[in-house]
A and B are shown apart, each in its own frame.
Chain A
Amino acid sequence: MQTVWPLFVYLAAAAAVPAGMIMVSFVLGARHSDRATGEPYESGIVSTGSARLRFPIHFYLVAMFFVIFDLEAVFLFAWAVAVRELGWAGFAEALVFIGVLVAALAYLWRLGALDWGPKPFARLSHSRHKDS
């Protein structure tokens, strides 16, 4: 236990920082309730309209694909820095990795997940009629 005490000091410090911030702003903060207090602050400009917009659901889907496929690049960078040491075996493994990614992309394309429009996943709904 002798060597663990810095951990507890660290824990105490980590708790003290946010607790202190909240305390200080509670003590020093101005308390008033005017007409505009509850309104969101937009650089002094009065905000108009609702924040609840309707995004096309496809926006999220494409964003997700981007994150997924972008993340895979990280693994390729890790391979790239050691490409000479890993040799042809490493190259073959990277090829398999990319091959699986291409297969996933082909799957998404065939399913219609990449089509932007009012009727995505046309193939899914079509097959539903055929199989049931």
Chain B
Amino acid sequence: MSSADWIAISPLIAVAAAAVVVMMLAAFWRRHAIVAAASMIGLAVALFCVLPARSAAPRMVTGLLAIDEFGLFYVGLLLKGSLAVAAVSYGYLRARGRDAEEYYALLLTATLGCVTLAVSAHFVSFFLGLEILSVSLYALIAYTRERARSIEAGIKYLVLAAGSAAFLLFGMALLYAEYGAMGFAPLAKALKASGGANVYMLAGMALILVGAGFKLAAAPFHLWTPDVYEGAPAPATAFVAGVSKVAMAALLLRFLTQLGATDSRPILIALSALAVASMFAGNLLALLQRNVKRILAYSSIAHIGYLLVAFIAAGPMGAEAATFYLAAYMITTLIAFGVVAALSPRDRDADAMEDYQGLFWRRPWMGGAFVAALLSLAGIPLTAGFIGKYFVVASGIGSALWALVLILALNSAIGLFYYLRSVVAVYARPGEEAKAADRAPGFSLAGGVALAVLGFSLILLGVYPAPLLRLIQTAIASL
């Protein structure tokens, strides 16, 4: 490896080193504030390392990692998301008041898995990144181990993620058996040489889509989502929903684009089926929920459906729309779960609708942020979610996917109902009981700053998306 290679992967090295440093701090200098600060500094250093890495790009490091504009864009996005999760976690864990230190080490290893996924261009790094992410998430989801729900969520995720990893491996093995290549680029070459799709290729791709669909929580592989979102501590839920899905989607985008898989009709049909099933399952089941975390879980399933429409739309326009959508989705999800974390008392998460009754009158800023997140999820103008949805619809129309676009519009209308129902609760007059119980024990200065920055970006992207779009265009051009 040359020194340029080291510079290219310096963000990954920084995150890995930060995880070890945080573990050592947890052992030898066990103070929550110090460990939290160290992990945030580590993530910030990794974020800073993206700049020199960009100057070394594009570059294949060891045949496993493709450090290009696309990968580094997602690395930056994931690191920012992770930083926000760490900031929000601080207040939440302080309110819980016990054994908070290991959480940050797990958060950093999970982030390492995410950034590995974003830059991997080989089945080996794909699986490695996925496993680093998954194993960290098992522990993060079950972190509040005094709550039975949390343990249940962790075990459910463990069993289902292990099962989906088996599907994924079998799919990779089939593709390798047929084409003798594990890197995405050699695989694409072998695929072209053999003259298009055959039964091995389709079976392999189907199995890989099952594995990826599980991580993305696309219907019909979404069954774990509501239970895990409900049981996991709110900041960990924010990570699962906001950061890990973005990483998986980035990898899938690279994989499908490089293989030219969207030229294959059966794969398009499979992706369309996933998209339609996710949109309907997410939105219709969300209507039945009263628990805020479960509503957000079903809403995230629906959003993966919208995202898949952009995946199906051919060409760079689809990839750009998907990338913008993911950025907007990550910001929005982090705000929503960040507010849940800030409001959570010591012994449970603030996931009942009553916790949000009149939030706007009690805490105008937090209520405002929560409403902004809900409106962005619904796709109301002046928010990032609207621009994201606009690009997805535009890319769908550009590829003449009329049926999918119509279903997307119909589902947005259904979704509006449960988002607005939550908004109404936030603006309702608070009862005397709620006023008396008004506390935000999980709120910290760091979390407040993170929520403010996220909220600001949400509005900024909604009214002035041009700079991010330019960045995304250079990223997609390198794919």
Chain A interface residues toward B at CB < 8 A? 1, 4, 89, 100, 103-104, 106-107, 109-111, 123-124, 127-128, 131-132
Tell whether, in the assembled complex, residue A110 and residue B32 are in contact, meaning their CB atoms are under 8 Å apart: no
The answer for the CA separation of A66 and B109 in the assembled complex, in Å, is 22
Contact A100:B20 (CB < 8 A) given known A107-B26, A110-B27: yes
Interface residue SS majority, chain B:
helix
CB closest chain-A residue, reference B25? A107
Tell whether, in the assembled complex, residue B98 and residue A111 are in contact, meaning their CB atoms are under 8 Å apart: no
**Among A4, A104, A128, contact of B99 (Cβ-Cβ < 8 Å):** A128
Tell whether, in the assembled complex, residue A124 and residue B199 are in contact, meaning their CB atoms are under 8 Å apart: no
Contact A103:B99 (CB < 8 A) given known A1-B199, A131-B32: no
Tell whether, in the assembled complex, residue A131 and residue B24 are in contact, meaning their CB atoms are under 8 Å apart: no
Tell whether, in the assembled complex, residue B1 and residue A89 are in contact, meaning their CB atoms are under 8 Å apart: yes
The answer for the CA separation of A128 and B23 in the assembled complex, in Å, is 17
Which residues of chain A have C-beta atoms less than 8 A from B97's C-beta? 128, 131-132
> Digit string of B1-42 for contact with A (CB within 8 Å is 1, else 0)?
100000000000000000010011011101110000000000
Nearest-neighbour CB distance to chain A for B37, whole angstroms, equals 14
Tell whether, in the assembled complex, residue B27 and residue A111 are in contact, meaning their CB atoms are under 8 Å apart: yes
CB closest chain-A residue, reference B99? A124
Contact A131:B199 (CB < 8 A) given known A106-B24, A107-B23, A107-B27: no
Confirm or deny: B100 has a beta carbon within 8 angstroms of a beta carbon on chain A: yes
Nearest-neighbour CB distance to chain A for B89, whole angstroms, equals 15
CB closest chain-B residue, reference A123? B30
The answer for the CA separation of A89 and B31 in the assembled complex, in Å, is 36
Nearest-neighbour CB distance to chain A for B178, whole angstroms, equals 11
Which residues of chain B have C-beta atoms less than 8 A from A110's C-beta? 27-28
Tell whether, in the assembled complex, residue A131 and residue B31 are in contact, meaning their CB atoms are under 8 Å apart: yes
Tell whether, in the assembled complex, residue A103 and residue B23 are in contact, meaning their CB atoms are under 8 Å apart: yes
Interface residue SS majority, chain A:
helix
The answer for the CA separation of A4 and B26 in the assembled complex, in Å, is 54
The answer for the CA separation of A124 and B30 in the assembled complex, in Å, is 9
The answer for the CA separation of A17 and B1 in the assembled complex, in Å, is 51
> Which residues of B86-107 are within 8 A (CB) of A?
97-101
Which residues of chain A have C-beta atoms less than 8 A from B100's C-beta? 131
Nearest-neighbour CB distance to chain B for A26, whole angstroms, equals 31
> Digit string of B93-128 for contact with A (CB within 8 Å is 1, else 0)?
000011111000000000000000000000000000
Q: Give me 21 A-to-B residue pairs in the complex whose CB atoms sit less than 8 angstroms apart, sorted by A's number.
A: A89-B1, A100-B20, A103-B20, A103-B23, A103-B24, A106-B24, A106-B27, A107-B24, A107-B26, A110-B27, A127-B30, A127-B99, A127-B101, A128-B97, A128-B99, A131-B31, A131-B32, A131-B97, A131-B98, A131-B100, A132-B97
Which residues of chain A have C-beta atoms less than 8 A from B199's C-beta? 1, 4
The answer for the CA separation of A110 and B28 in the assembled complex, in Å, is 7
- What are the 8 A-B residue pairs with the smallest beta carbon separation, nearest first? A132-B97, A110-B27, A107-B27, A127-B30, A128-B98, A107-B23, A131-B32, A103-B20
The answer for the CA separation of A110 and B98 in the assembled complex, in Å, is 17
Among A107, A109, A123, the one with the most B-chain Cβ atoms within 10 Å of its Cβ is A107
The answer for the CA separation of A127 and B29 in the assembled complex, in Å, is 10
With A100-B20, A106-B24, A107-B27 given, name 20 new contacts (CB 8 A).
A4-B199, A89-B1, A104-B23, A107-B23, A107-B24, A109-B27, A110-B27, A111-B27, A123-B30, A127-B30, A127-B99, A127-B101, A128-B98, A128-B99, A131-B32, A131-B97, A131-B98, A131-B100, A132-B97, A132-B98
The answer for the CA separation of A46 and B20 in the assembled complex, in Å, is 54
Nearest-neighbour CB distance to chain B for A69, whole angstroms, equals 15
The answer for the CA separation of A124 and B28 in the assembled complex, in Å, is 12
Which residues of chain B have C-beta atoms less than 8 A from A104's C-beta? 23
